Structures are given as structure tokens and as C-alpha cells.
Amino acid sequence: MLRKKSLFVSLLSLSLVAGTAYAEDTLKVGVQAPITGSYANEGQGIDNATRLMAEQINAKGGVLGKQIEVITCDDEGTAMKAAICAKDLVNKGVKMVIGSYTSTCAEAAQATYYRAGVLQTSDGTSDTLTEHGYWTFFRNSFPNSAEATFAADYFINNKKYQRIAVLSDFSSYADGLGTAVVDAVKAAGGEVVASEKVKAGAQNFTPILTQLKSKNPDVIFYAGYYSDGGLIRAQQKALGINADFVGGDANDNPDFVKLAGPAAEGAYLINVPTPEILPYDLAKDFLNAYQAKYNMMPPSIWTLLNVDGMRAFVHAMEENQSFDTKKAADYLHTLKDYPGITGPISFAPDGNRVGSGYMAYEIQKDGSYKIVYNQ
């Protein structure tokens, strides 16, 4: 018994020694994003932007004297791959992870990062992301419930829609947003005539749209992603359904307009401001640098929100003069108005980003956006 104990103690001390002796000379930052698959466009944006930000920080001498090393894992937009990525990144010794793009993938990886004490920031808007009580998780966007409240207000008070149909898919994000919008519309006294789900990537949405047609809605709200939203809009017009189309935030992507074709004109989107219209100097500088390095604009606001999450993490470590993630999290949970690319960054104790800044846009004939409603 005694021998066992002493063996245990010696093993423990050995591992402690190993732990301290193995000091790393770089700060490892993980990117978990869909580099391939349906959301590749967004995933590559997050990866590009994180690498650019790391380059900029490294050029200024790094974080507390250490250079940032970016390690990317492709989660393909699937929960299964996300869980594998989480283990992989933790094993490679990252201190923080940027991503993923979808709530589903962020959620599938959350627990692993939490157990390893790795900070994670995601643009996932599903409310459940901050409901697990993980101190490691920070949302760099605004939750579905904020968007749902805005949508309900827009539908009922501004557009005066009588009959509202809500479509979503099975992802954490879309399901959460769809449910939140249904609840918010009901709470605001509106009528939801249909609430249905589609399978992401199914391509053929005509059966469900034909069914919606019989309910005669004034508006179809689509809570899923652009790769399906663009097709739903095109097929809606093709079927001669004259309802308005309003897409949730994840429809905000150039591919939405390409997929919908001529039907894109007149569709509405709800989202926080697009990168181009961000009024902050930080945003303008970063967009110029991004354009110079990659010869294109970031695919959407999500790219920038994720970079802001990373900037907040780095800021916390610099303020604490320590790479300790728990200390950084404690600092971040009370962070107030740290200047960000997407506006002042403040976090609530549950890891939610504080604030809201939703707007409604109408897509114009040339594919550009016009702001039509602003809270």
C-alpha cells in the first residue's frame, strides 16, 4: 500500500516536473472551422482572418514575448468531425480555439475544451452554447434570442405581417433560432401559420414549399444557412409563392445571392452590420489588410466576430501578464467595452457577448444590401 502510494507520488511529481520543464516557445492558437464542405467559404474566412491577426500581433512582438502559432483543424461543418478536432487541438497544446462557424460544431467541441481548460470563442448564435456553464466558452456574436426579438418586432410592428411561416433545419443554430422566432412572434401577438424543418443540403425544397403555399403565408422566415436559403428563395419564386422571404443571419453570404439568382432581389436578411458598413477604424484597417493579403473581402461579418473573440483573449492574457486560461476567463467575464473590429466587446459572466445590433436588409437587383429597418 505504502509502496503504491509512493509510486503514485513519484509519478505525480515526475509529471509536474515534466509539465514545467516542457515550456513552449510559442502561443498556440487553434482554428476549428469548416474549411471544406457546404460552409467552406465561411470556414476559410475564419482561418484566413485568424492567420492575418496572428501575423499582425507577431509583427508587433507577439503576446508577452511569444509568437503566435496558428493550428487549423477542418471540422467540415459536422459535429462528428468537430469532436475529433477538439481532441486533436487539445493534444497539440493550444491555449485558445477560434471557432467553429456553426453552433453545432462549437457545441460538439465545447466540453472537450472545457475539460482541458482551453479558451474557445465562436460566432455560434444558438442560445444553448452559453447554457452549459463552461467557463472556457465565449460567444463573439449575439445570441439567437436577441435576433428573434428583433425579427418579431420587424415582422409585426414594421411589416405588419398577419401570417408568418418559419422554416429551419436540424442544426443547433437553425433549430434554436427558428424556435426563438416562433416564440417571439407569438409573444408579440403574431400568428405563426407554419413551423417546419428542412434537411440541410437536401436541395429539393419544393414539396415543403408547396405545402407552405397552401397555408398562404405573408412571409417565410428561413432560420438556416445560405447554402439552403438561396435555393429555398429561388424555388419559392419558381413555385409562384408571393410571400416575402426573410433570411436569418446565416443567410448573409454572397452565395445566397448567387444561388437565388434573379429571385434574390427583394429578399430580406436580418443580421448585424455587414463588414463594409462597420464605422470603426479598427474595422477599416483590418479589412484593408485582409483585402491586401487575400485579394478579397472576408465572406461575412462572422469572420470579423471570430477575430474579435481572438483579440479579446490576447488582450486578457496581456492584461494579466499570464498565459493562464482560467485567469484570462475571469478577466474576460467582467470585460467592458474593449474596442473591437465589430464594436465594443463586453462579456456577461455566462460568456455571452453583451449587446445587440441587428438590422434588416433588402437585397437589391445588383446583389447589394439596403438597410430597411434598424431598431
Q: Tell me if residue 66 falls in helix, strand or coil.
A: strand
> Position of cell 501578464?
321
Task: Decide whether 34 or 143 has the Cβ nearer to other proteins.
Answer: 34
Q: Which of 198, 219, 304, 312 binds other proteins (CB under 8 A)?
A: 198
Q: Which region among 64-72, 91-99, 207-215, 361-369 touches other proteins (by CB under 8 A)?
A: 207-215
The pair phi, psi for residue 69, each rounded to 5°, is -115, 120
Q: What is the DSSP letter of 128?
A: G
Per this entry, what is the length of the chain?
A: 375
Beta-bridge mates of residue 73: 32
Task: Decide whether 32 or 342 has the Cβ nearer to other proteins.
Answer: 32
Closest of 329, 278, 323, 324 to residue 305, by C-alpha:
278
Please report, to the nearest 10 degrees, the dihedral formed by the alpha carbons of residues 178, 180, 181, 184 taken in order: 160
State which amino acid sits at residue 328: A
Task: Decide whether 194 or 272 has the Cβ nearer to other proteins.
Answer: 194
Closest approach of other proteins to the CB of residue 240, in Å: 4
100 forms part of the interface with other proteins (CB under 8 A)? no
Task: Decide whether 238 or 354 has the Cβ nearer to other proteins.
Answer: 238
Work out whether the CA dihedral 69, 73, 79, 84 comes out positive or negative: negative
Q: What is 131-189 written as a DSSP string? A: SS--TTEEESS--HHHHHHHHHHIIIIIS--SEEEEEE-SSHHHHHHHHHHHHHHHHTT
Q: Which of 13, 15, 157, 210 binds other proteins (CB under 8 A)?
A: 210
Q: Which region among 22-30, 197-205, 285-293, 363-371 touches other proteins (by CB under 8 A)?
A: 197-205
Q: Tell me if residue 15 falls in helix, strand or coil.
A: helix
Closest of 125, 128, 130, 129 to residue 143, by C-alpha:
125
Q: Footprint of other proteins on residues 16-35 (CB under 8 A)?
A: 35
Closest approach of other proteins to the CB of residue 310, in Å: 23
Q: Which region among 136-144, 251-259, 286-294, 359-367 touches other proteins (by CB under 8 A)?
A: 251-259
208 forms part of the interface with other proteins (CB under 8 A)? yes
Q: Which of 149, 227, 251, 303 binds other proteins (CB under 8 A)?
A: 227
Closest approach of other proteins to the CB of residue 167, in Å: 9
211 forms part of the interface with other proteins (CB under 8 A)? yes
Closest approach of other proteins to the CB of residue 39, in Å: 9
Residue 117, all three cell numbers? 481548460
Which residues 6+ apart lie within 8 Å of 247 measured at CB?
221, 222, 226, 229, 233, 256, 267, 268, 269, 270
Closest approach of other proteins to the CB of residue 105, in Å: 15
Task: Decide whether 36 or 158 has the Cβ nearer to other proteins.
Answer: 36
41 forms part of the interface with other proteins (CB under 8 A)? yes
Closest approach of other proteins to the CB of residue 65, in Å: 37
CA atoms of 289 and 34, how far apart (whole Å): 23
Which strand (E) or helix (H) includes residue 285? Answer: helix 281-294
Q: Which of 58, 162, 206, 346 binds other proteins (CB under 8 A)?
A: 206
Task: Decide whether 208 or 267 has the Cβ nearer to other proteins.
Answer: 208
Which residues 6+ apart lie within 8 Å of 9 measured at CB?
none
195 forms part of the interface with other proteins (CB under 8 A)? no
262 forms part of the interface with other proteins (CB under 8 A)? yes
Task: Decide whether 66 or 197 has the Cβ nearer to other proteins.
Answer: 197
CA atoms of 21 and 28, how far apart (whole Å): 17
Closest approach of other proteins to the CB of residue 373, in Å: 28
Q: Which of 19, 65, 240, 279 binds other proteins (CB under 8 A)?
A: 240
231 forms part of the interface with other proteins (CB under 8 A)? yes
Q: What is the DSSP letter of 101?
A: S
Residue ranges in contact with other proteins by CB under 8 A = 35-38, 40-41, 170, 196-199, 201, 203-204, 206-208, 210-211, 213-214, 227, 230-231, 234, 238-240, 255, 258-259, 261-262
